[in-house]
């Protein structure tokens, strides 16, 4: 060791007096061996060479003792020549020189000259100057959470530069939930004691401590950062097991009904939840859809409460790798008033007889509403002002009932509108129209348009001519309203009415059956019945008054004096008659009436015009002036009597006036009658008388003959004329009603036939009367007693 460093050494020794030296002195074959702890401070004394070598301290410097480090630039040791101490000259690091070798020897040469001696050998003792050390401060490891219990994970061991006991002796792992440590020699392993759950703890930090065996003990730690990797160990979990939602029906498409959500504790694709329907019916698929990502269930179709009031849908949540879970979605549909009530006609008595009593049920109506609750509460009504009402019956049934008397003739059919309204909000309603017709009952008799009818006919009408027509109305239906006219039986002047008139059963036209004679009767009444064809029939009757009007068909008839030709009559006019005195009077009548019978008298011709006048209307013949002696004794007047008809008819007569005071003075009464004209007339009369008498005789003979025959064979001739054989009648005669009215024109013919029989007899009687009359007149005029005797 170099000697020039004495002062430094002194300082070194003083300041480090407490340092211990451990060394073993060996002396063998001249070699010195020291053991020195590493890392001693400079100046620390390793040993005393002088003592160890048995030399004088002074001889060291004499012998130029020095330390020569073999093959080393660094001079770790020095010799204090004054004390002979071997001292640390520089820091000695065992690990630097020897690494991990268990024994570390630092070779140096201690040179002594005179004689040259060489001593060497320095053992370096280890001290625990190094801590165990891991390669990194942080160890990252990733472990899948699915790792099984007992899985092992190797951790790189820690190193300690020291050797022996000072090197790493043991490891310890800070207590944790999952891992324990397994050390086998140099192999350190983490052993999974309890399964990991990423979802609980994603990262775990473990503190691993390596301990050496030095004293004091040193340690080194490392943090093991365990990242737990996810495994798809979690199925998605719905937030609710059952989702309930209510949805109004008819909700528009795209309405969100409910959103289901499921969470998956896994991460990444393992936690990527998608939603879908589980097993659902086709209907559900048509109505709802589920959003794969969001879990929104939306409406895609028509939601109809009336079809389905609720849906139960299984919803599936699935994560990326196929773990799935299910939830139930219950969608209850709420009713919306979307169905109008429906009115059904269950039964209907159509054609209600009009005599139906009020309160009769004529129809049954059923009302239905497919909605529910209030929306299906239905009120039913019909319009006012019809004689019907609705009576609620069982449940949704209503009876349609009449409320009043029906009259087909007023209203023959009804359109009844039944309106049904539900109680929803807003309410819906619907209506149905029912057509009801009223059936006819024969409840109306025919009614004549007028209370009575009058027919005016001029006499001498043609048989069959139309007099008038009657009309009756019957408002009933068809045959109940079909009117048939007929004459009611009755008598006019002792003859049945049917011999005067007939009525057309269909038209009501009244015909005359015969020609009327005003002079026979001026008016008569018949009753016409109108009857309908119902069952039973209803009828009414009306009076038809027939007024026959006059025709100027009768000439005035002069009653006095006797008509021309029979004028044997004379009036005596006193000679002293003054002007204006009434001489005679022409008396005439006219069978006609009115103007036709308004007679006027005129003197057509007179022997002495100016002597007599006649009252125009009275027929009184008066002297116009005083009679004078010069006036002819015989005065002859021809008087015409005219009626006032159009044209007027007239008759004439002659009046013989004898101006005399005494009838005896009239010697030539016969002369008066036998003038030229009269004799001619008389001869005619005689001819007529003879022929009439002959005829009359013949007639008497016939009558006698007939009577004689009838006694033996009654009913031969006259009865046959009264009882008309039915074969004689036209075939339709059977159609005649009870009253004897014939349809159409047949009746007229029939009556004509019967009538003509009667007229035969009348004619005969006329002749008889005429003959009697003529005979009478002749007897008056001729005074032929024989003539009367003949008659007697």
Ligand X SMILES: *[C@@H]1O[C@H](CO)[C@@H](O)[C@H](O)[C@H]1NC(C)=O
**Contact footprint for ligand X (CB under 6 A):** 413, 415, 435, 439-442, 477-480, 488, 534, 541
What is the rounded CA–CA span in Å between residue 437 and residue 315? 61
Identify which of residues 76 and 477 has a Cβ nearer to ligand X in the complex: 477
In the complex, least distance from residue 466 CB atom to ligand X, rounded to whole angstroms: 24
Minimum distance, C-beta of residue 488 to ligand X, in the bound complex (Å): 5
C-alpha neighbours within 13 Å on the C-beta side of residue 383: 10
Tell me the closest approach of the beta carbon of residue 544 to ligand X, in angstroms: 12
Q: Left, alpha or beta for 198 (phi > 0: left; psi -120 to 50: alpha)?
A: alpha
134/453 with CB nearer ligand X: 453
- To the nearest whole angstrom, how small is the minimum distance from the Cβ of residue 459 to ligand X? 28
Task: Answer positive or negative: Cα dihedral of 764, 765, 766, 767.
Answer: positive
Of 74 and 525, which CB lies nearer to ligand X in the complex structure? 525
Contact 658, 637 (CB under 8 A): no
Find the shortest distance in angstroms from Cβ 478 to ligand X: 4
192, 182 Cβ separation under 8 angstroms: no
Do 601 and 617 touch, CB atoms closer than 8 A? yes
Nearby residues of 773 by Cβ (< 8 Å), 6 or more positions away: none
How would you label 312-339 residue by residue, b for 16+ Cβ within 10 Å and e otherwise? ebebbbbbeeebbbbbbbebebebbbbb
Give min distance, CB of 435 to ligand X, in A: 6
Distance in Å, CB of 355 to ligand X, minimum = 8
- Smallest distance, ligand X to C-beta of residue 498, A: 15
Taking the complex as a whole, the smallest distance from the CB of residue 477 to ligand X amounts, in Å, to: 4
Q: Which is nearer to ligand X, 452 or 679 (CB)?
A: 452
**Minimum separation from the CB atom of position 414 to ligand X (A):** 6
Residue linked to tokens 């061996």: 33
Q: What is the C-alpha to C-alpha distance for residues 81 and 13, in angstroms, rounded to an integer?
A: 14
Cβ within 8 Å of residue 338, ≥6 positions away: 249, 250, 305, 371, 428
State how far the Cα of 662 lies from the Cα of 252, in Å rounded to an integer: 144
Least gap, CB of 533 to ligand X (angstroms): 9
Contact by Cβ (8 Å): 774, 694: no
User: Residue 504 and residue 487: Cα distance in Å, rounded?
Assistant: 9
Query: Whose Cβ is closer to ligand X: residue 381's or residue 739's?
Result: 739
Which residues are within 8 A (CB) of 341 and not within 5 positions of it... i.e. 6 or more apart? 367, 368, 369, 376, 378, 420, 421, 422, 428, 429, 430
Q: What CA–CA distance (Å, rounded) separates 748 from 35?
A: 188
The Cα–Cα gap between 145 and 232 comes to 9
Residue 416 CB, nearest approach to ligand X (Å): 9
Question: Is 743 within 8 Å of 735 (Cβ atoms)?
Answer: yes
> In the numeric block, which tokens belong to residue 111?
């040179």
Residue 14 has, within 13 A of its CA and on its CB side, a CA count of 6
Q: Computed from CA positions of residues 353, 359, 360, 364, in that sequence, does the dihedral angle turn out positive or negative?
A: positive
| Whole-number Å distance between alpha carbons of 463 and 193 | 147
Closest approach, Cβ 289 to ligand X, in A, equals 48
676-712 and 746-782 are packed helices; what angle lies between their axes, rounded to 10 degrees?
130
Minimum distance of ligand X from residue 731's CB (angstroms)? 29
Strand ranges across the sheet with 650-659 = 570-573, 650-659, 634-642, 600-606
For ligand X, the closer CB: 80 or 539: 539
- In this structure, what DSSP letter does residue 251 have? P
CA distance 422 to 110: 129
How far is it, in rounded angstroms, from Cα 635 to Cα 603? 13
Least gap, CB of 499 to ligand X (angstroms): 19
Comparing CB distances to ligand X, the nearer of 149 and 478 is 478
Q: In the complex, what is the shortest distance from the CB of residue 489 to ligand X, in angstroms, rounded to a whole number?
A: 8
- Which residues have a Cβ under 8 Å from the Cβ of 164 and sit 6 or more positions away? 102, 126, 213
CA distance 645 to 593: 9
Q: Which residue has the tokens 């009464």?
A: 669
Q: Which CB atom, from 439 or from 768, has the smaller least distance to ligand X?
A: 439
Q: CB under 8 Å to 1, separation ≥6 — which residues?
A: 65, 66, 67, 77, 78, 79, 80, 81, 86, 87, 89
**Residue bearing tokens 């589920």:** 290
| Residue 540 beta carbon to ligand X: minimum distance, rounded to whole angstroms | 6
Q: Tell me if 322 sits within 8 A of 272, measured CB to CB.
A: no
Min CB(682)–ligand X separation in Å:
60
Query: CA 161, 163, 169: angle at the middle one, nearest 5?
Result: 90
């Amino acid at each position: 060791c170099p000697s020039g460093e004495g002062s430094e050494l002194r300082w070194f020794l003083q300041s480090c007096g407490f340092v211990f030296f451990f060394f073993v002195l060996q002396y063998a074959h001249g070699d010195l061996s020291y053991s020195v702890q590493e890392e001693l401070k400079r100046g620390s004394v390793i040993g005393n060479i002088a003592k160890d070598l048995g030399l004088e301290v002074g001889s060291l410097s004499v012998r130029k003792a020095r330390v020569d480090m073999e093959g080393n630039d660094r001079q770790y040791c020095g010799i204090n020549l004054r004390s002979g101490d071997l001292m640390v000259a520089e820091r000695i690091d065992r690990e630097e020189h020897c690494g991990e070798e268990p024994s570390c020897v630092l070779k140096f040469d201690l040179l002594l000259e005179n004689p040259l001696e060489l001593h060497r050998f320095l053992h370096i003792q280890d001290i625990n100057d190094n801590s165990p050390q891991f390669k990194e401060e942080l160890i990252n490891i990733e472990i899948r959470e699915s790792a099984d219990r007992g899985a092992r994970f190797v951790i790189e061991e820690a190193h300690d530069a020291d050797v022996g006991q000072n090197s790493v002796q043991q490891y310890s792992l800070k207590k944790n939930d999952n891992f324990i440590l397994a050390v086998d020699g140099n192999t350190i392993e983490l052993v999974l004691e309890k399964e990991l759950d990423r979802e609980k703890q994603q990262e775990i930090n473990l503190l691993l401590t390596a301990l050496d065996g030095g004293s004091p003990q040193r340690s080194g730690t490392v943090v093991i950062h365990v990242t737990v990797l996810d495994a798809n160990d979690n199925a998605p979990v719905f937030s609710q097991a059952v989702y309930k939602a209510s949805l109004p029906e008819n909700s528009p498409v795209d309405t969100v009904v409910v959103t289901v959500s499921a969470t998956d504790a896994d991460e990444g694709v393992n936690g990527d939840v998608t939603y879908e329907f589980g097993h659902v019916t086709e209907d559900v698929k048509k109505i709802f859809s589920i959003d794969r990502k969001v879990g929104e269930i939306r409406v895609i179709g028509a939601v109809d409460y009336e079809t389905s009031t609720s849906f139960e849908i299984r919803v599936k949540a699935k994560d990326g790798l196929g773990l799935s879970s299910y939830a139930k979605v219950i969608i209850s549909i709420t009713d919306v008033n979307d169905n109008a009530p429906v009115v059904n006609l269950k039964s209907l008595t159509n054609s209600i007889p009009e005599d139906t009593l009020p309160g009769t049920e004529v129809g049954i109506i059923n009302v239905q509403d497919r909605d529910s609750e209030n929306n299906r509460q239905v009120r039913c009504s019909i319009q006012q002002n019809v004689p019907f009402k609705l009576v609620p019956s069982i449940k949704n049934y209503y009876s349609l009932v009449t409320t009043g008397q029906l009259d087909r003739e007023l209203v023959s059919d009804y359109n009844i509108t039944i309106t049904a309204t539900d109680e929803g909000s807003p309410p819906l309603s619907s209506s149905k129209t029912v057509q009801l017709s009223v059936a006819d009952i024969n409840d109306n008799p025919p009614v004549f348009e007028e209370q009575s009818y009058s027919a005016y006919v001029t006499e001498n009408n043609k048989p069959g001519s139309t007099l008038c027509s009657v009309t009756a109305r019957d408002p009933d239906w068809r045959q109940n309203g079909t009117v048939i006219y007929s004459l009611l039986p009755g008598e006019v002047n002792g003859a049945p009415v049917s011999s005067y008139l007939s009525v057309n059963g269909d038209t009501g036209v009244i015909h005359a059956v015969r020609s009327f004679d005003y002079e026979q009767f001026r008016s008569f009444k018949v009753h016409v019945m109108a009857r309908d064809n119902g069952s039973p029939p209803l009828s009414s009757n009306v009076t038809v008054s027939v007024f026959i009007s006059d025709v100027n068909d009768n000439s005035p008839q002069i009653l006095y004096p006797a008509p021309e030709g029979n004028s044997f009559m004379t009036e005596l006019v006193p000679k002293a008659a003054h002007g204006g005195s009434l001489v005679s009077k022409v008396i005439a009548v006219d069978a006609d009436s009115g103007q036709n019978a308004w007679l006027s008298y005129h003197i057509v011709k007179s022997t002495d015009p100016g002597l007599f006048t006649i009252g125009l209307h009275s027929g009184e013949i008066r002297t116009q002036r005083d009679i004078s002696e010069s006036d002819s004794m015989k005065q002859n007047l021809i008087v015409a009597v005219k009626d006032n008809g159009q044209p007027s008819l007239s008759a004439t007569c002659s009046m013989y006036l004898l101006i005399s005071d005494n009838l005896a003075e009239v010697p030539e009464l016969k002369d008066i009658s036998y003038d030229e004209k009269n004799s001619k007339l008389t001869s005619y009369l005689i001819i007529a008388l003879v022929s009439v008498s002959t005829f009359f005789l013949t007639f008497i003979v016939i009558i006698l003959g007939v009577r004689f025959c009838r006694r033996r064979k009654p009913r031969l001739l006259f009865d046959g004329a009264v009882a008309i054989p039915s074969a004689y009648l036209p075939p339709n005669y059977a159609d005649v009603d009870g009253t004897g009215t014939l349809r159409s024109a047949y009746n007229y013919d029939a009556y004509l036939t019967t009538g003509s029989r009667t007229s035969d007899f009348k004619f005969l009687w006329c002749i008889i009367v005429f003959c009697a009359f003529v005979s009478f007149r002749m007897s008056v005029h001729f005074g032929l007693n024989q003539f009367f005797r003949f008659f007697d």
